[in-house]
Amino acid sequence: MPPLLLAIAREFGASLGEAAAVASAYFLFYGVTQLAWGILSDSLGRVRLMRLALLGAAVAGILSALAPSLWLLVVARALTGSLFGAVIPTSLVYVGDRVPVEHRQRALADLVGANALATALATVGGGLAAALASWRVAFVVPALLAAGLAIMLARLPEPTPAGSAPPLTQMREVAGQPWAYVVVILVLIEGSFMFGLTAYFAPALESSGYSAAVAGLVVAVFGLGTLAWTRVLRLLTARVAPPLLLALGALLAGSGYVVVSLSRSAGAVLVASVLVSACYAFTHTTLQTWATDVVPKARATMISFFATALFVGSALGTQAAAPLAAQDRYGLLFAIAALIAFPLGLVGAFGRWRYARRAIS
């Protein structure tokens, strides 16, 4: 969506801040529906839930492409986010159900790498669609892919859920684990700057005179960078402790935001995209692995809270930064992102270290 925001604003005669609601609604509803998806994945099954959600998301994606007004588009994207919101979190639970904890971060790194490659392709495609055809095309393609994937997933074996207790019992399990609160708060903050504020990389480039196609190509490096960093992560997981991985990702992300706060050139945004993508590979997968382990008896419910926090944070970050973006104050916007990233790395690493020590004792 980032390369599409200015094109959407122009077509509907809206400000960038108003158009940003398209992204914010997607993130918000992606997040707030997670608890329902977690409960349903236990009753319906992981694979069946993903297939049904993908079919629904395909319909919602077509409705997005046909939206005649900005606010109907916001509603359609909220619906799309709600349905796509079942897919990645449920796939995380699927990995937690089938992969032993000692190998889990590598498996999650592969999942994040695939997601990153798709993000890169989508960002490039979005920019090209906005420049050469219409932003509406960018919503049609994922809808068609979702329908195809729903059919393909019929071959995926259904795991036996680790926790089969009633939903209220699982929620009590999560609520009774103090470390669950720590993980949720950390990912809420991470979402605000990793997804919420990177949404303004493309508009920042376009406001500097670059086309939507160029902005999409540059920002797509975020996805390619994540894919590359996940390959590095596979080599490091056996040698570097999780707290250090968590801190390293946040440190690199903060450095990336410092770079782009000083310059809005294509080169600066490219460097920032590569550095911030390290947060997705290192920090986020460490938090994901932690989330799958912190309440094993209520893994699906815990992942639901985790995903909710991530995308509520993303929505809050996108919307909170909209006034600065509308005033073309991107330097301050990205400087604030850096000030969020650096402390998160330190606090998160300390928390993960304490968690490991308590588990040993």
Q: Residue 361: which pLDDT band, with cuts at 50, 70 and 90?
A: low
Cα(203)–Cα(199) distance, integer angstroms: 8
- Among 287, 266, 254, residue whose Cα is nearest residue 221: 266
Q: Residue 333: which pLDDT band, with cuts at 50, 70 and 90?
A: very high
Tell me the residue type at 36.
A
- Say if residues 73 and 273 touch (Cβ distance below 8 Å): no
Write down the pLDDT at residue 271: 94
Cα–Cα separations (whole angstroms), residue 299 to 88, 114, 285: 14, 22, 16
- Say if residues 4 and 70 touch (Cβ distance below 8 Å): no
Write down the pLDDT at residue 129: 86
Digit-coded pLDDT (tens) for 5-40: 888 998 999 988 888 889 888 888 887 887 788 778
Tokens of 191: 């979402």
Write down the pLDDT at residue 236: 87
Cα(331)–Cα(334) distance, integer angstroms: 5
User: Per-residue pLDDT for 81 more than 90?
Assistant: yes
Cα–Cα separations (whole angstroms), residue 172 to 180, 301, 355: 11, 10, 20
- Among 58, 196, 78, residue whose Cα is nearest residue 139: 58
Digit-coded pLDDT (tens) for 253-287: 999 999 999 999 999 999 999 999 999 889 998 99
Tell me the pLDDT of the chain averaged across its residues: 88
Helices (H), the chain: 5-12, 16-32, 34-44, 46-66, 70-84, 87-98, 101-132, 137-152, 167-175, 178-194, 201-207, 212-219, 221-236, 242-262, 266-278, 285-294, 299-326, 330-360
- Give the three-state DSSP class for 158: coil
User: Per-residue pLDDT for 210 more than 80?
Assistant: yes
Least confident of 22-26, 167-171, 245-249, 320-324: 167-171
Buried/exposed code over 50-75 (b: 16+ C-beta within 10 A; e: otherwise): bbebbbbbbbbbbbbbebeebeebbb
- Angle, helix 34-44 to helix 167-175, in steps of 10 degrees: 130
User: Per-residue pLDDT for 202 more than 90?
Assistant: no
Q: Where are the beta strands (DSSP E) in the chain?
A: none
Average pLDDT over residues 193-200: 85
CATH number at residue 297: 1.20.1250.20
Digit-coded pLDDT (tens) for 94-149: 887 888 877 887 888 888 778 878 877 887 888 888 888 889 999 999 999 999 99
Digit-coded pLDDT (tens) for 231-251: 898 888 878 899 999 999 999
Phi-psi region of 210 (alpha: psi -120 to 50; beta: other; left: phi over 0): beta
- Looking at the 3D structure of the chain, how many domains does it have? 1
Write down the pLDDT at residue 197: 87
Entry pTM: 0.74
* Residue span of the structural domain in which 163 resides: 2-360
Q: Residue 335: which pLDDT band, with cuts at 50, 70 and 90?
A: very high
